[in-house]
Structure 1
């Protein structure tokens, strides 16, 4: 029987630094909840808003897979691997930080905010040579379907990372139903509602709610509102 772990939007941690508003599903920086440290290999799920002209100065990371999914606006990325890139809605950015990288992220627009999801996964290989990847996808390709954006396989759809994890985005009409079939036995699924409302595996979810599911091979998904959007993150539950 499947086990559910529900994290409603209102129960997330919140940090307001003026220039940054961050809602944190799992313990991060000043927010600590011993019951919410990680979901398997999923370590961080931050729902961030960066004010115009502001951003994160250069800072280090190592041995973490870091995914950025812009929801609105443009984020300027710069790192010590020589990448200076802008990411927009429709882009997916991945850094395999491995043996160590420094990077910065800024909102280049003077007044408009940037909204993006910042996600960290524990990798299945340590101290790899750091890598950066960025892809642009067509949001129309996820209308009433699940669009794969991340997998462990460089030759598969989307981009890839050092973990047996698969990410999908979907945008659905009200009443549309589908099923997500897990790719690897023993993995769990964390579903995050970006917009609208859903019923997932029998659980009602509102905007920005999250639901972790383990002990199942598939999950049933029904959109309960028009233009409803969600992110599905399938991850190993055992950390290597």
Structure 2
């Protein structure tokens, strides 16, 4: 039996693609829209990981050419989401998953009069419409030093986990060998699999079944996604 060699790649925040208008900023970990780099293709079914900011009272429309699961995770402030069926609000400490395709669109709005909002827009490729179009989940990362699963995991769906850690706290994450993992540092700094990751850096990992990490700063926040 041939053993697979572990594979790892770091995605530095300083090398992300940038797009901006007068009222919107987007930083792309992977190729997205007009940003294209040879080494920034999709990672498994993880198509996009965008760090986005909307200025007060601004909006952006989302359209997709294929069926995707869009995950919206506010980091500062709240979002107002308009779809053909409904209007939803998602606050910090909540995550909205939305299944959409070529026949639908979403509009993300900053409802504040004076505050900029910052959020992650994550996209996963989906092969079938196996669940309802929108699901909102809440989580509490004041329960420190452990990873919390924040999506309502369905059969064969990849887990999304988040955790806030004190400095020098360590953790281990186990998963099936048929999955790959993408790690993203939201706040602070971590050492993950003996690799230094600072704020908004990412790390992809294949052919390993556990991840070891250590927070290098207080209130450091780590996002882990199975892909």
TM exceeding 0.5: yes
Is 1:137 the counterpart of 2:130? The answer is no
Q: Which one is further off, 194-203 or 48-57?
A: 48-57
* 1:126 match: 128
C-alpha contact (below 8 Å) 1:99/1:127 kept by paired residues: no
Cα distance, 1:95–1:114 mapped onto 2, change above 3 Å: same
1:121 positional shift? 0.4
1:64-213 equivalence runs, <5 A: 64-80=68-84, 82-98=85-101, 100-123=103-126, 125-126=127-128, 131-141=133-143, 143-150=144-151, 152-153=153-154, 164-182=157-175, 184-213=176-205
Separation in structure 2 between the aligned mates of residue 60 and residue 6 of structure 1, nearest angstrom: 27
* 2:19 match: 15
Q: Which runs of 5+ in 1 are unaligned?
A: 155-162, 236-240
C-alpha contact (below 8 Å) 1:98/1:130 kept by paired residues: no
**Matched position secondary structure for 2:204:** strand
1:36 pairs, out of 34, 40, 45, with 40
Aligned residues: 223
* 1:47 match: 51
1:150 positional shift? 2.1
C-alpha contact (below 8 Å) 2:138/2:150 kept by paired residues: no
TM normalised by structure 2 equals: 0.92
C-alpha contact (below 8 Å) 2:137/2:152 kept by paired residues: no
* 1:220 match: 212
Cα distance, 1:186–1:219 mapped onto 2, change above 3 Å: same
1:140 positional shift? 1.9
Cα distance, 1:153–1:129 mapped onto 2, change above 3 Å: closer
Q: Which one is further off, 217-226 or 144-153?
A: 144-153
TM normalised by structure 1 equals: 0.87
Cα distance, 1:58–1:41 mapped onto 2, change above 3 Å: closer
Q: Which one is further off, 166-175 or 132-141?
A: 132-141
- CA shift digits 1:205-232 (9 cap, x unpaired): 1111000011100010100111100100
1:61 positional shift? 6.0
Q: Which runs of 5+ in 2 are unaligned?
A: none
Cα distance, 1:59–1:188 mapped onto 2, change above 3 Å: closer
Q: Which one is further off, 56-65 or 101-110?
A: 56-65
Cα distance, 1:130–1:32 mapped onto 2, change above 3 Å: farther
Q: Alpha carbon RMSD of aligned pairs, Å?
A: 1.8
Separation in structure 1 between the aligned mates of residue 130 and residue 164 of structure 2, nearest angstrom: 34
